[in-house]
Structure 1
Amino acid sequence: MPQVAAAKASSQQTDLQISAAAAASSSTTKSKDCDHHHASYLTRLLSSTIPSLSCLSNPLAANDSIASLADSTSAGLARPFCLDRSKMEVGRESTFSHWKHQGVDGPKPWPVVGNLIQHLISPKRLERELQWLKDHGKVYGLYHGKKPILFIADPEIIRQVCIKDFDVFPNHQTLGGLVNEYQKFVLIMLQDDHWRRVRALMSPTFTSGKIKRMFRLLDGCVNDLILCFEEKLALEKGSDVKTAIVNIKDIYQLYTIDGIATCCYGLRLDRSRDGSTKKPGAGFRRDQFIKIVMNIFNFNPLRFVVLATVPKFLLEYFGFVILPKSTFDPLAQIVNKMIEDRKEKVERKFDDYLQILLNSEMGEQVELNEMDSKENHHAGLTGESILEDQKRMVADIEQRLGKSRGSIKLTDLEILSNAMFLLIVGVETTATLLTHISYVLSYNQNVQAKLRKEIASIAKRTDGSNNYSFEYDDITSCAYLDAVVSETLRFMPPVHTMDRVSVADYYIEKYNIHLPKGSQINLGFYSLMNDSDFWHEPRTFNPERFMPENRAKINPGSYCPFGMGPRHCIGMRFSLTETKLALAKLMMSFKLYPAPGTSYPPQLSFGVKNGIKNSKIKIVPLEEEQ
């Protein structure tokens, strides 16, 4: 089993990265002459195939260059170039005829890239989706490169493929050798029985009971978040009323990194920059840890264009990976060292996600309570469906592997990969959700005022000060708080689409569409949740839709920001708790207003994430307004 070298101290991690970079640079220099010929050929091939990317012409550029399919790994390029060019169809003009032959309507694809840039990368992608919904209906055909994709924004069909016929659509698309060794074992990448086994083992870790045990750890992180806003205010001078213009996305990223490091790894990050410890037991400087994590997010979205337009066998030959292993190594060293330490110190108790993963075993019961039921609607779930899915997966795996209940555990690499996975997916999506909520509230003062009033009714003043504390059950049960979060998830979801791949031939009777085995579908969450056929004035922000008395009016299947069915987002409850607690304390500390130069609805940034291009707001201390 691959083992990751343990980090002895955080100060050594930078040295390791520098040494590795130096070694890679040396290796690249030695083989440069040999590599240059092959890389140049591939560059010319890509440039002729994708003319708009021809400016990315350096064949030995680092990770952000589309031309460098070796990702700083020269071994793949140094092999003798003996591919049969007759097999390459990269440069041929695609007819994009698949959906036409089936009689399926859809937007006109661009040469070579199909609808990929329009659908996933363009800043106008969400506006375009809604226009496509009007022009082509709730089910239509797209192309990512030459690959046909069936786009579905019909709640009936989405429920059908995600729940009723889940066994036909259990997987996301497989990327094979295009992912690094850590990514291969993360939950979202796993397929079939491997996914069922890991999901069954991990499901008990995300119930309300487990998250409640982490709540106080998270509370300390929220206090640091409020302190961060106060520090921004302290920098503003010369004003009678203290105000500050802040980039909320940057601040929320720091908070979500801090929250996951604390609740998932038991790491207490030191906020100081000079190395002095302000938190008892702090083991890592915050700025160093953040640098390691943010390096993973430094992702060029144009790599999706390469992935969609260049044959997979060619990408694998040249060693192309979506994210290089070296990007993950520093974080892997930290987590692996923690795993080893905990195995040696079994007597010490930890209430974090990493320890729950270490302790997990097949057959552990999913313990649901009333708090779980209050948030199940975010993924179209019921308590019965959760338990049924868990029992079915456990029984399936035990039967297929011939194992007895309780004898199957996660491997070391599965623990390591999924411990990192939660940090990677949890930081960006939750920070984006908090950014969207704060931005929308700054433009909707009536909603903000009502939310603050509701939160004040459950807030507990600490020691007669202006600091407030909250109980987990109160935060989870606050109806208007959940309604504001729910409406933001509908109005501006952090993830606007998700894929599934069929493992058998499938027929959609309602639309008379035949999907052969291996077909990819995209579930159009954003289109579905902003369709006027299911939502009254969908582009109006109205949390009242999600109040308990109105929730029954929501069309089944039309609200699914975390996915739906057995493969819904496993970290949903943790993300909601992290979001709601931060929002509650923010409302009791500040008022939010639009910043100059911003617009509503906001403009999106370029890329696959649903980030806001200008994520600034104005904050005013609450006491200044009273």
Structure 2
Amino acid sequence: MGVTDILWVILFLVIFLVSYLVYSQRKEVSYFRSKKILHLGNAFVNSFYYMIYKKIGLVEMLQESYDQMREAQAPVAGNFDMGCINYFVTDSDMLKHILVKDFDHFVNRRSIKVPSTDILVTKMLIFQNDEKWKGLRSKLSPTFTTGKIKRLFSLFNDSSKKLVQYVNERMAESTDGEIDLGDGYSKFTMDTIASAVCGMNSQAFDQIEPSIFEMMGKKLQLTFTAKTFFKFFVMILLPKFSQRIGMTMFDKDMHQFFAGAIKSSIKERNQTGQKGNDFIQLMLEVREDKLKTDESELDSFEKDAIIKSEVKGQVSTADLLDDDGIVSNCVLFILAGFDTTQSLLLFCAYALAIHPEIQDKLRKEVEAVLDENDGDFTYDSIHKMAYLDMVIHETLRFYPPAPATDRGCTEDYLIPGTDIVVKKGDGIIVPIMSIHHDERYYPEPEKFDPERFSPENKGKFNTYAFLPFGQGPRNCIGMRFALTEVKLAIAQLVHNFDIEPSKRTPIPMKFENASSLKPKGGMWLALKRRTAINES
């Protein structure tokens, strides 16, 4: 394709975009006015205006929509996004029906059309629908049980100790102990995922600069730029054109790197019969229907999720988890686990820094557990710490890694308590962070208070107003993996260091314009070593 052809394509796309937006805006206003539903404006125009022009992120944009709904006393509002109708739902009782009780109407996430040639994306669990999703989810759920994650704990612990050593070395290079924890947590999450998911050495802690595994992992992170918007616009509205020109959601070099490494590992295992202690091995056993799961490893939550995702009819696991499928889902675990886990770790450290009384109380619990376990952490001891669990949950409420989630309607549905009918193909948007900061659900929502999640209070809060991992059968499959990883890293941090705000600590917090919650300008904190660091 020559330069002239490319210019003509760009001109065509610009004309098409302007025409589409004008038409869409008129259609939206007329549609929602006739239904007597609060209209929140065109999603694409709003996103471009707020994120590209005003330079404010997804969090602020969602909050403005939420405030509009509160002012109008509307638990449901709507907009159009790329030609699809979306309904914002903020009422917890309605969400209980949508996410759990009437799950059969909302099995899928919102439809996103991607080129069929983009094998990396099309085989990911998150992009599967209907029976294919149910088949893959029901097969993969047993790989994330408590028992399976417990067997990987030694890998988590090794990475956490590397993190402590890394932070200590960076502190030594700083004149005032001020460091950006983002770099350390990036290395920790990538090192943990590389070993536990892929059975690989990320080499993240072998050098200060990002290793190749880190660099490829960071390419999975989505930031909202003009280029990103244009790319998604073309892929969603012009799938045949994007397929013809070979457009993919992620860079091809990233796909080639992970596909090469993971397929090479699969080939070696098949040839030698050697087994790994990682999720590649678990997926290989799932594919061959050889994965053994003891019923005692499953709690009621896991059993319920598996039952509700069981398939009707035959779905071939071998097709869902061929070599490309294993690559895709390993990359999905990296994508989901790296970005969101790093976010949770950063904001938990931040909360502890600006609330020293909470940090001191947590440290006492951590020290007591270490004394009982010969100076080291175990899987059971990490999950036995009640106050640590409270701090993590309050961090998830105050700073949820995913500011919003969604569902796609698979069958016409009347929202309970309204006369609003969600049509098949329409989407549901759930503004998680706004709900988490609503005083109707949480008294004094802008106060960071772990006591909300104490054993005495935990049963009092509304389950459907706490959504960091979603709710229902389509919630985050890696929740236990992430919580184990985060609890261990935070426990190691408060055991080894005093955490304080530094001159560069952002107070009040400002967020990056990204798909997950991230601090703008990094997470700069001042750390002071409390214990001797093992140099071995």
CA–CA distance in structure 1, aligned partners of residues 264 and 106 of structure 2: 37
Q: Counterpart in 1 of 2:447?
A: 540
Instruction: Give the one of 314, 338, 343 matched to 1:401.
Output: 314
User: Between Structure 1 and Structure 2, which shows a larger proportion of helix residues?
Assistant: 2
Q: Distance in 2 between matches of 1:324 and 1:526?
A: 30
Look up the match of 2:8. Answer: 38
Answer yes or no: is 1:482 the counterpart of 2:408.
no
Residue aligned with 1:246, SS = strand
Q: Does 2:306 match 1:390?
A: yes
Q: What is the alpha-carbon distance in structure 2 between the residues aligned to residue 162 and residue 123 of structure 1?
A: 22
Q: Deviations over 1:571-599 (max 9, x none)?
A: 00000000000000101011111121434
Structure-1 residue corresponding to 2:122: 184
219, 222, 230: which one aligns with 1:295: 219
User: Among residues 168, 171, 190, which one is paired with 2:108 in the alignment?
Assistant: 171
Q: Distance in 2 between matches of 1:409 and 1:566?
A: 19
1:138-197 deviations in whole A, cap 9, x for unaligned?
A: 322233355431111211111111111111101112323347211101110101111111
Are 2:527 and 1:619 aligned?
Answer: yes
Cα distance in 2 for residues equivalent to 1:236 and 1:388: 50
* Aligned equivalent of 2:507: 600
> 1:103 is matched with which residue?
36
Give the C-alpha shift of residue 130 in structure 1.
4.8
SS at match of 2:220: helix
Distance (Å, rounded) in 1 between the aligned partners of 2:309 and 2:41:
41
Structure 1 residues 148, 174: closer, same or farther in 2, change over 3 A? closer
Q: 1:89 aligns with which of 13, 20, 24?
A: 20
Q: 1:327 corresponds to which residue?
A: 254
Using the alignment, how far apart are the partners of 2:235 and 2:531 within structure 1? 60
Instruction: Kindly provide the amino acid, as one letter, of the partner of residue 276 in structure 2.
Output: F
Give the whole-Å Cα distance in 1 for the aligned partners of 2:45 and 2:236. 15
The percentage of counterpart residues that share the same residue type is 26
Structure 2 counterpart of 1:427: 338
What secondary structure, in the 3-state scheme, does the structure 2 residue paired with 1:593 have?
A: strand
Residue matched to 1:85: none
**Matches for 1:557-596 after TM superposition, within 5 Å:** 557-596=464-503
Q: Secondary structure at the match of 2:464?
A: coil
Contact map agreement 1:90 1:309 (CA 8 A) in 2: no
**Which string of whole-angstrom CA distances, capped at 9 and with x for unpartnered residues, describes residues 94-119 of structure 1?**
21222222111244558x61467559
Counterparts of 1:228-267 in structure 2 under 5 Å?
228-237=166-175, 243-267=176-200
| Match status 1:447 vs 2:380 | no
The equivalent position to 1:314 in structure 2, one of 238, 248, 253, is 238
> For residues 361-376 of structure 1, what are the structure 2 equivalents within 5 Å?
361=287, 367=294
* Contact 2:382–2:487 (Cα < 8 Å) also in 1: yes
Report which stretch shifted further, 475-484 or 265-274.
265-274
Quick one: which amino acid aligns to residue 356 of structure 1?
L
- Partners of 1:146 and 1:308 within 8 A in 2: no
Assess, with a 3 A threshold, how the Cα gap between structure 1 residues 305 and 471 changes in structure 2: closer, same or farther: same
Structure 1 pair 439/548, CA: closer, same or farther in 2 (3 Å)? same
Q: 1:140 is aligned with what amino acid?
A: A
Change (3 A) 1:101 1:539: same
Query: TM-score when scaled to structure 1?
Result: 0.76
What is the SS of the residue equivalent to 2:238? Answer: helix
448-457 vs 311-320, greater mean Cα deviation? 311-320
Residue-pair matches, total: 518
Structure with the larger RCO, 1 or 2 (CA within 8 Å, 6+ apart): 2
Q: Which amino acid aligns with 2:226?
A: L
Corresponding position of 1:197: 135
Which whole-Å CA distance do the structure 1 matches of 2:390 and 2:103 have between them?
29
**Counterpart AA for 1:134:** R
User: Are 1:124 and 2:94 matched, yes or no?
Assistant: no
1:341 equivalenced with 2:231 (yes/no): no
Contact 2:110 2:426 in 1 (8 A): no
Match of 1:411? 322
Query: How far does residue 122 in structure 1 lie from its aligned partner after superposition?
Result: 4.6
Task: Give the number of the structure whose alpha-carbon radius of gyration is greater.
Answer: 1
**What's the offset of the Cα at 1:336?**
1.1
Q: Distance in 2 between matches of 1:402 and 1:123?
A: 39
Residues 138, 153 of structure 1: 8 Å contact kept = yes
The 1:93–1:565 alpha-carbon spacing in structure 2 relative to 1, beyond 3 Å, is: closer
8 A contact 1:357–1:410 mirrored in 2: yes
SS of aligned partner of 1:474: helix
Note the C-alpha offset of 1:307.
6.3
CA separation of 1:232 and 1:170: change in aligned 2, threshold 3 A:
same
TM-score by length of 2: 0.88
* 1:294 to 1:546, Cα distance in 2 relative to 1, 3 A: same
Distance 1:555 1:313 in 2: 38
Show structure 1 runs of 5+ residues with no match. Answer: 1-30, 50-87, 238-242, 275-284, 373-382
| Structure 1 contact 208–368 (Cα < 8 Å) conserved | no
Q: Residue type matched to 1:393 in 2?
A: S
- C-alpha spacing 1:487/1:498, structure 2 compared with 1 (3 Å): same
Quote the residue 1:151 is aligned against: 88
Q: In 2, are the aligned partners of 1:181 and 1:325 still within 8 Å (CA)?
A: no
Paired residue type of 1:322: M
Alpha-carbon distance between aligned partners in 1 of 2:231 and 2:315, rounded to the nearest angstrom: 38
Preserved CA contact (<8 Å) 1:99 1:148? no
Superposed displacement of residue 245, structure 1: 1.4
* Whole-angstrom distance in 1 between the partners of 2:315 and 2:211: 48
Q: Give the CA deviation at 1:482.
A: 0.6
How far apart in 2 are the matches of 1:258 and 1:212?
A: 17
The residue identity in structure 2 corresponding to 1:595 is: S
Deviation at 1:528, TM superposition (A): 2.0
Q: Tell me the equivalent position of 1:82.
A: none
Question: Counterpart of 2:77?
Answer: 140
SS where residue 219 of structure 1 aligns?
helix
Q: 1:323 to 1:35 in 2, by over 3 A?
A: farther
Q: 1:597 to 1:505 in 2, by over 3 A?
A: same
Please give the alpha-carbon distance, in whole angstroms, between the structure 2 residues aligned to 1:269 and 1:616.
24
Q: Report which stretch shifted further, 126-135 or 608-617.
A: 126-135
Name the CA distance, whole Å, in 1 between partners of 2:102 and 2:421: 15
